[in-house]
Amino acid sequence: MCGIVGYIGEKEANDILIAGLEKLEYRGYDSAGVAVISKNNIININKKKGRVEILKNLTPLLGTYGIGHSRWSTHGVPSDRNAHPFTDQSNQFAVVHNGIIENYLELKEELRNEGVEFSSDTDSEVIVHLIAKNYQGDLKEAVLKIIKRLQGAYSFCVIKADGHEIIGARNGSPLVIGLGKKENFFASDVSAIIEHTRDVIYLNDFQIARITKENVEVFNFQGEEEALDVREVNWTLEKAQKQGYKHFMLKEIFEQPEVIKETLKVPIHVQNNFSRIIMVACGTASYAGLVGKYIIEEVAKIHVLYEIASEFRYKENLLTQNDLIIVISQSGETADTLAAVRLAKEKGAKTLGIVNVVDSTIAREVDERIYTRAGPEIGVASTKAFISQLIIMYKLAFHLAGKEFDANGVVEKIKETLAKHEEIRTLAQKYYLYQNFLYIGRNRNFPLALEGALKLKEISYIHAEAYPAGELKHGPIALVSEEMPTLAVCPRDSVYAKTFSNIEEIKAREGKVITIATEGDQEIKRVSNDVIYIPKVEEILYPLLCTIPLQLFAYYIAECRGCDIDHPRNLAKAVSVE
Ligand code: AGP
């Protein structure tokens, strides 16, 4: 993961780099650092363990070009010592890196034998020493030479003390160039540079670029110059700001009615000429895919397989040209999901991406793409992207069935559900000290139980497990006690009576139950300690409504526990390592 920024121009680089890193913090926040080249060609570095804002308290580095990094640790603990940028022994080169250099041990050993002393425990540091070793007067040529030695997925930027240029390379981790007037940028994603420019070039894998104050050049890994594919970013900075909300996550939860409205407008043109659909994704996106499986099978009567991308990429999937692989990804950069796309294409299967970030790597690599219209999602815990993915699942299911999806006033019902936030907050105050939770649901509600439990785990660090309600008696019911409450997703649908019985079984064992139920359902009160009511809608639409209380419950529990909701520990927003 990690975030990279580079700036070269006429302004002071230090503040531009730090501001860019703050936008990229969602990618990792274990440490942060900047390297800026001074007027007299000296590389100066500020780097520290912890959040980017710490850099603001250090004496600003003077100079008009440099590179910056926010870290999500893979090799070596979060510390000052392991923070990027890294320099070579003569302090002539500095590097920031995102990704993993898989053969770093071998490279490190080789460099050590040649007398290089390492100053960190990271895999990244080998890059700068290799560049120093291979430099013969041209930084781009040195980079071209050393990338032949690197195995793994990476993007990195490098500067030389007297270079007046920044070289960036991409193989598997994102890197974008921002084009300005007498200034140019590198960044892991456009949010870091959108304040300065909307004209960007997304580097492809196996490309390197050289940027100077006045010029941008892109080359392939063989060193041949390639055409510049300049694109315009179509969203604004305001969309990526908190706008008065305490956290991005809360703002994004409340944006969902608008997101649904927008995503409902997305046209779907998918041909029905395949024999199987396989949904592939990670985390929350995968749960949207699982809801999709239930809905497509129900509405379009097409068999759908569901796969976690990190598993799919290493197993025998018996793929054929008649398969449609649907990958779902908010960021469009998730390494495992991207690998699934490449694997599917290799086997001749068709790929359809449901992606939020326009022009992201997955969006560019799939055969067909459908963009969700969630706008920039900054909170590490995915919320509005999930609901937009669900909307596409519905639209797709109805499209495949040859019907029109009628969302039937769902936006208003979502608003009504959001209006219950104070009630849910009060409920969270009652439950926030528990250490364990069970989540249950049947049929389309089961993926929601998974998603609700994931939200709670991610941002409140409470242990939560989700099960199909009918599966409880096969083991997990042994966990039920006064100490382990259950959140049951039980709207008035075709499996209501079955889930109701499962709730009764929990109550009979002194378990506490919070139920998400349909307005007017008085019976459910008898078996629940607390009920969160959602408005009555057509049965198939319940997953959309049930999502809201699950998100708000997790949010308010985390708030009660004083957690850093937008920056949960150990996590990062875009998981571009496998
Ligand atoms: C969601 O809250 C997570 N942080 C995570 O599970 C996420 O959904 C997953 O990493 C997939 O990301 P993507 O949608 O960007 O591919």
**572 within some domain:** no
**325 within some domain:** yes
Spatial distance between the Cα atoms of 115 and 146, rounded to a whole number of angstroms: 18
Q: Which of 334, 369, 372, 390 to mutate to test the pocket of ligand 1 (most atoms within 8 A of CB)?
A: 334
Residues 225 and 256 in one domain: no
Residues 329 and 394 in one domain: yes
The enclosing domain of 241 has a CATH number of 3.40.50.10490
Residues 398 and 433 in one domain: no
Q: Give the closest residue (by CA) to ligand 1 atom 9.
A: 283
Measured from the CB, is residue 349 less than 6 Å from ligand 1? no
Q: What percent of the chain is helix, strand and coil (3-state, nearest 5)? A: 35, 25, 40
Domains held by the chain: number: 3
**Known catalytic residue: 546?**
no
**Known catalytic residue: 573?**
yes
Measured from the CB, is residue 331 less than 6 Å from ligand 1? yes
Residue 576 pLDDT: 74
Question: Quick one: tokens of 461?
Answer: 């660090």
Q: Which one, of 561, 492, 482, 495, lies nearest residue 529 by Cα? A: 482
First-to-last C-alpha distance (Å) of the chain: 10
**569 within some domain:** no
Q: Which atom of ligand 1 is nearest to the CA of 573?
A: 4
Q: Which atom of ligand 1 is nearest to the CA of 337?
A: 16
**323 within some domain:** yes
- CB burial class (10 A; 0-12, 13-18, 19+) of residue 150? buried
**118 within some domain:** yes
Among the candidates 349, 377, 407, a domain finishes at 407
Residue 316 pLDDT: 93
Residues 240 and 227 in one domain: no
Ligand 1 center–CA 93 separation, angstroms: 35
Residues 540 and 481 in one domain: yes
Residues 228 and 244 in one domain: no
Spatial distance between the Cα atoms of 550 and 487, rounded to a whole number of angstroms: 9
Q: Where are the alpha helices (DSSP H) in 279-377?
A: 283-300, 309-312, 335-346, 361-365
Residues 79 and 136 in one domain: yes
Is residue 194 within 8 Å of residue 234, measured between CB atoms?
A: no
Residues 367 and 468 in one domain: no
Q: Which atom of ligand 1 is nearest to the CA of 455?
A: 2
Spatial distance between the Cα atoms of 163 and 264, rounded to a whole number of angstroms: 50
Q: Which one, of 430, 428, 494, lies nearest residue 459 by Cα? A: 428
Measured from the CB, is residue 334 less than 6 Å from ligand 1? yes
Residues 258 and 224 in one domain: no
Residues 519 and 479 in one domain: yes
Which three-class secondary structure state does DSSP give residue 5? strand
The enclosing domain of 188 has a CATH number of 3.60.20.10
578 residues of the chain, pLDDT tens digit each: 789 999 999 999 999 999 999 998 878 788 999 999 999 999 999 999 999 999 999 999 999 999 999 998 888 899 999 999 999 999 999 999 998 899 999 999 999 999 999 999 999 999 999 999 999 999 999 999 999 999 988 999 999 999 999 999 999 888 999 999 999 999 998 989 999 999 999 999 899 999 999 999 999 999 999 999 999 987 776 667 788 899 999 999 999 999 999 999 999 999 888 999 999 999 999 999 999 999 999 999 999 999 999 999 999 999 999 999 999 999 999 999 999 999 999 999 999 999 998 888 899 899 999 999 999 898 999 999 999 999 999 999 999 999 999 997 999 999 999 999 999 999 999 999 999 999 999 999 999 999 999 999 999 999 999 999 999 999 999 999 999 999 999 999 999 999 999 999 999 999 999 999 999 999 999 999 999 999 999 999 999 999 999 999 999 999 999 999 998 988 877 787 77
User: What range does the domain containing 484 cover?
Assistant: 418-564
Residues 369 and 441 in one domain: no
**512 within some domain:** yes
**217 within some domain:** yes
Question: Under the phi-then-psi rule, with left for phi > 0, alpha for psi from -120 to 50, and beta for the rest, what region is 99?
Answer: left
Spatial distance between the Cα atoms of 528 and 518, rounded to a whole number of angstroms: 13
Measured from the CB, is residue 458 less than 6 Å from ligand 1? yes
Q: Which of 49, 293, 455, 573 is catalytic?
A: 573
In this structure, are strands 65-71 and 31-37 parallel, antiparallel, or unpaired?
antiparallel
Residues 393 and 267 in one domain: yes
Among the candidates 233, 255, 282, a domain finishes at 233
Among the candidates 233, 261, 276, a domain finishes at 233
